[in-house]
Amino acid sequence: MKIAMLGAGAWGTAMAQSAATRHQVVLWSKDPEHAHAVQQERENKRFLPGIELDKRLEITSDLDAALANADLIVLATPMAALREILLTLTARQVHCPVICLSKGIEEPQPGATVGLLGHQVAQQVAPDFVRQNGFGVLSGPSFAKEVALGLPTAVVVASEQERVCEQALAAFHSERLRVYRSDDPIGVEVGGAVKNVLAIATGLVDGLKLGMNARAGLITRGLAEMARFGVALGAQAQTFMGLSGLGDLVLTATGDLSRNRRVGLQLAEGKTLEHILQTLGHVAEGVYSARSIVMAARHLGVEMPISEGVLALLDGKMTPDAALQALMQREAKAEWDL
């Protein structure tokens, strides 16, 4: 099949690289200079350095060329750009399924109380497009560099439309990348969004050298927090025990390749958020999703103390020590309460 991968960041490039051995893949970058450099050098030095790209992978900044005769469109843009690219697709009247790789919750639009998950943005922006073509989300424990290197990885694709999952499996399932199916896009997206915020918190705990007990406790309580939030939004509770929940949380909270974890580590060192983001070089979605997640949780009446603490820390309203103290001084309660 022909796959149009829209977004040439680390994740989009890695997934394009993975599929290029079996399909015709066109990787689209909005930046013409970036696209030209990647095409000529056969390496995405800005976002995925050190990986030689498959010679069959085409890179372009011509969106119409990327979309022409596509059998599957994959959106690998940051969550903040998802609405714009969806509007662009509807204007071009493309006719094939869409899979979204973006992780996070969109900032609330003017007049809205809470932000939307990726599939909800698609349903709001392009309901006819979604109904006719199909829309799914893909997530799971998957560092881009390891996927690009062909190291064994397992992810999950979720859609309410079975044909979309089948198309995603045909595109990406291989001996190196195992793709599972789910009918719970809410749960899969919540896991992919909240784990980034929890990874900042875990990086903070590790940066403060509070020990392995503290790390394990925070990850476990974070999983409970994630599940409470997801179930309140309509997700299936068992989804959070799977790849997009527990799996992605463990990887992002503990893996050295995690950008969100690095944010927490550097906050613990006393560095400012502005400095951290300037030197990071990539988007850390947890920084941008924390506020939307907390606002949605408050609206639903869901307690998310770890996420609340991360937001207060990012906003400069709490020091790392104060955020930790606020968590430890909470009253005792039952472990699971969804």
193-252 pLDDT, tens digit each: 999 999 999 999 999 999 999 999 999 999 999 999 999 999 999 999 999 999 999 999
Q: Extract the annotated binding site for NAD(+).
A: 7-12, 144, 259
What is the reported pTM? 0.95
- At residue 311, the 3 state secondary structure works out as helix
Say whether pLDDT at 338 is over 70.
Answer: no
Tokens of 207: 């940066």
Q: How far apart are alpha carbons 198 and 214 in whole angstroms?
A: 13
Tens-place pLDDT, residues 134-165: 999 999 999 999 999 999 999 999 999 999 99
Top-confidence residue, 27 or 324 = 27
168 with 72: CB under 8 angstroms? yes
Say whether pLDDT at 61 is over 80.
Answer: yes
Mean pLDDT of 321-325: 85
Q: How confident is the model at residue 50 (pLDDT cuts 50, 70, 90)?
A: very high
Mean pLDDT of 164-170: 97
| Spatial CA neighbour of 172 closest among 214, 211, 139 | 139
Which residue intervals of 301-332 are DSSP H helices?
305-314, 320-328
Fold of domain 187-329: N-(1-d-carboxylethyl)-l-norvaline Dehydrogenase; domain 2 (1.10.1040)
What integer best gives the mean pLDDT of the chain?
95
299 with 114: CB under 8 angstroms? yes
Residues 6 or more apart whose CB falls under 8 angstroms from that of 75 comprise 6, 7, 82, 85, 86, 98, 99, 100, 101, 102
Tokens of 328: 């430890």
pLDDT at 332: 73
Mean pLDDT of 21-47: 97
Q: How far apart are alpha carbons 214 and 205 in whole angstroms?
A: 7
Q: Where are the beta strands (DSSP E) in 32-186?
A: 58-60, 72-75, 98-100, 135-139, 153-158, 177-182
Q: How many CB atoms lie within 10 A of CB 181?
A: 16
pLDDT at 331: 75
Residue ranges covered by each domain of the chain: 2-183, 187-329
CATH number of 2-183: 3.40.50.720
Q: How many CB atoms lie within 10 A of CB 40?
A: 9
Mean pLDDT of 62-78: 97
Position 148, amino acid: A
**Is the Cα torsion angle 193, 286, 256, 328 positive or negative in sign?**
negative
Tens-place pLDDT, residues 254-291: 999 999 999 999 999 999 999 999 988 777 899 999 99
Instruction: Provide the annotated active-site residues.
Output: 195
Q: Extract the annotated binding site for substrate.
A: 103, 259-260
Residue 100 backbone dihedrals phi, psi, to 5 degrees: -110, 130
Rg (CA), the chain: 19
**Is the Cα torsion angle 295, 296, 302, 307 positive or negative in sign?**
negative
Q: In sequence order, what are the beta bridge partners of 59?
A: 27
Tokens of 120: 């909800």
pLDDT at 281: 75
Q: In sequence order, what are the beta bridge partners of 99?
A: 74, 136
Q: Extract the annotated binding site for sn-glycerol 3-phosphate.
A: 103, 140, 142, 195, 248, 258-260
Q: How confident is the model at residue 330 (pLDDT cuts 50, 70, 90)?
A: confident
Q: Extract the annotated binding site for NADPH.
A: 11, 30, 103, 144, 259, 283, 285
Q: Where are the beta strands (DSSP E) in the chain?
A: 2-6, 24-28, 58-60, 72-75, 98-100, 135-139, 153-158, 177-182
| Spatial CA neighbour of 132 closest among 96, 101, 163, 84 | 96
